[in-house]
Amino acid sequence: AQIWAELLGVERVGRHDNFFELGGHSLLAVQLLSRALDLGLDFSAADLFQAPVLKELASKIHLEPQPRSRGVISIRPTGSQPPLFFVPTGFGDCSYVVGLVEEMDVDCPVYALPWPSFDEVRPLTLEAIADQVILAIKEIQPQGPYRFAGYSSGGILAYAIAQRLLSLDDAVSFIALIDVTLPANVTKISPIQMVRDVVLDSFESLDDESFEVLEQFAGQSSISQLLEKGQQIGAIPLDRNLHNDVLMYERTARFHKALQAYQVPTLPIEIHQFYATEALFSSRARQAKSSFCPEACSPMRGWDRVLSPEAITAVPIVGDHVTMMSVLESRKALARAISTPLIGVLEKDP
């Protein structure tokens, strides 16, 4: 009840209150699962959807003496098939998994993998991040074949995880890349500048004059200073604590630095690329320095540079990079498209 109150911004939560009726959504559900797991309270996203009333959810909670699986979030706890592991996006966000898996017709456990603590990863490379994530995967599934899915640039981490598992002689039977572009040329925009642009994107509703003030300020500021300026100018509520936002954006910049340095190898695997059929709208923050590349217009999204075309199954999903996940009908179509080959993979798995 205390976690609910903090996440939902309400003073008091009663036993008959409904998480979603109080304003809960996928992002808050993931935060709820993560905070509960830190306290040794174990339940899944499926439990929350099936029992959103506090009293009912309490009956599904298991007490763990030690937080398990290095913060891995259980989205769907049971199933007869091998697990499906989702990686976070390039912003460390796993909330997309909750709504997507609700629409998927698969008989397998589903887990959302966290980023490790980057302070423990030395050196901070994508391969080293993958090695840390594999420790959590192995606690749940000691042996392959393994199955992964990833959305946006974070999906490249799924490929890096597959690379490391194959080097350990483990099998990887399925990789779903959800609109994951592999640029031919590493963008000239630094990770910090990329994150600044994302912060500016969140200020899109401002009038032109205020936005221009923030845009000019962004060029010489840190992430923390830009968020504080946004708060001063009225783009962020004054009572909002910016500490967690600053940490999230700084971690994002560090992840993308590792991403830019990653040399993508050719692997003996097949991938499914579920690509958006529409171009993503270019916001004010990106119009002058768009990070889009020719590969973003190709169904294979540039992966045919490292894999043969025969190893890539490209599946179109109506919508752009955002709406393919945020619009219910597109998300349902995506969920069906991912579910179909998973059943076929089960038949081929040893």
Which tokens in the block code for residue 60? 């599904």
Helix or strand run (H / E) with residue 317: strand 312-317
Is residue 113 within 8 Å of 136, Cβ to Cβ?
yes
Quote the domain boundaries for residue 1. Answer: 1-67
Q: Structure pTM?
A: 0.82
How do residues 95-127 score in pLDDT, each as one tens digit?
Answer: 899 999 999 988 999 999 988 888 777 789 999
110 burial (CB, 10 Å; 0-12 / 13-18 / 19+) is buried
Residue 290: pLDDT band with limits 50, 70, 90: very low
Running DSSP on this structure, what letter comes out for residue 53? B
Integer Cα distance of 299 and 310 in angstroms: 13
More confident residue, 87 or 286: 87
Q: Please check whether residues 95 and 176 belong to one and the same domain.
A: yes
Predicted pLDDT of residue 291 = 47
End position of a domain, from candidates 41, 67, 93:
67
For residue 86, give the nearest of 335, 349, 347, 343 by alpha carbon: 335
Q: Please check whether residues 169 and 93 belong to one and the same domain.
A: yes
Integer Cα distance of 42 and 20 in angstroms: 19
End position of a domain, from candidates 44, 67, 90:
67
* Residue 111 domain-assigned (yes or no): yes
Predicted pLDDT of residue 63 = 79
CA dihedral 275, 74, 136, 150 (to 10 degrees): 0
Predicted pLDDT of residue 323 = 94
3-state SS assignment for residue 187? coil
Q: Please provide the average confidence, as pLDDT, over all residues in the chain.
A: 86
Q: Please check whether residues 178 and 195 belong to one and the same domain.
A: no
Is residue 242 within 8 Å of 236, Cβ to Cβ?
yes
pLDDT of 234 over the 50 cut: yes
Which amino acid, one-letter code, is at 5? A
More confident residue, 184 or 301: 301
* Residue 74 domain-assigned (yes or no): no
Residue 342, Ramachandran bin (φ over 0: left; ψ between -120 and 50: alpha; else beta): alpha
* Residue 73 domain-assigned (yes or no): no
* Residue 72 domain-assigned (yes or no): no
Which segment of 64-78, 238-252, 319-333 scores lowest on mean pLDDT? 64-78
Q: Please check whether residues 308 and 177 belong to one and the same domain.
A: yes
**Helices 26-38 and 95-102, packing angle to 10 deg:** 110
- Percent of all residues in the chain with a pLDDT value above 70, rounded to a whole number: 92
- CATH number for the domain harbouring residue 114: 3.40.50.1820
Predicted pLDDT of residue 68 = 55
- CATH number for the domain harbouring residue 33: 1.10.1200.10
Q: Please check whether residues 105 and 176 belong to one and the same domain.
A: yes
- Rounded to an integer, the average pLDDT of 280-293 is 53
pLDDT of 232 over the 50 cut: yes
More confident residue, 258 or 30: 258
More confident residue, 41 or 71: 41
Residues 6+ apart with CB under 8 A from 30: 45, 73, 93, 94, 95, 97, 98, 112
Q: Please check whether residues 237 and 219 belong to one and the same domain.
A: yes
Q: Please check whether residues 157 and 31 belong to one and the same domain.
A: no
Q: Please check whether residues 85 and 163 belong to one and the same domain.
A: yes
Q: Please check whether residues 252 and 268 belong to one and the same domain.
A: no
pLDDT of 160 over the 90 cut: yes
Predicted pLDDT of residue 288 = 41
Q: Please check whether residues 273 and 320 belong to one and the same domain.
A: yes
Which tokens in the block code for residue 304? 């045919």
3-state SS assignment for residue 105? coil
* Residue 45 domain-assigned (yes or no): yes
Measured at the alpha carbon of residue 201, what is the angle toward residues 199 and 203, in degrees to the nearest 5? 85
First to last CA, the chain: 45
Residue 281: pLDDT band with limits 50, 70, 90: low
- Percent of all residues in the chain with a pLDDT value above 90, rounded to a whole number: 42
Per-residue CA distances from 52 to 23, 49, 72, 175 (Å): 12, 6, 21, 32
More confident residue, 155 or 216: 155
Running DSSP on this structure, what letter comes out for residue 265? P
End position of a domain, from candidates 206, 239, 259:
259
CB atoms within 10 A of CB 246: 17
Q: Please check whether residues 214 and 325 belong to one and the same domain.
A: no
* Residue 145 domain-assigned (yes or no): yes
For residue 176, give the nearest of 315, 332, 18, 5 by alpha carbon: 315
* Residue 217 domain-assigned (yes or no): yes
* Residue 34 domain-assigned (yes or no): yes
Number of domains making up the chain: 3
Predicted pLDDT of residue 166 = 96
Beta strands, E only, 116-262? 146-151, 172-178
Q: Please check whether residues 85 and 109 belong to one and the same domain.
A: yes
Predicted pLDDT of residue 186 = 67
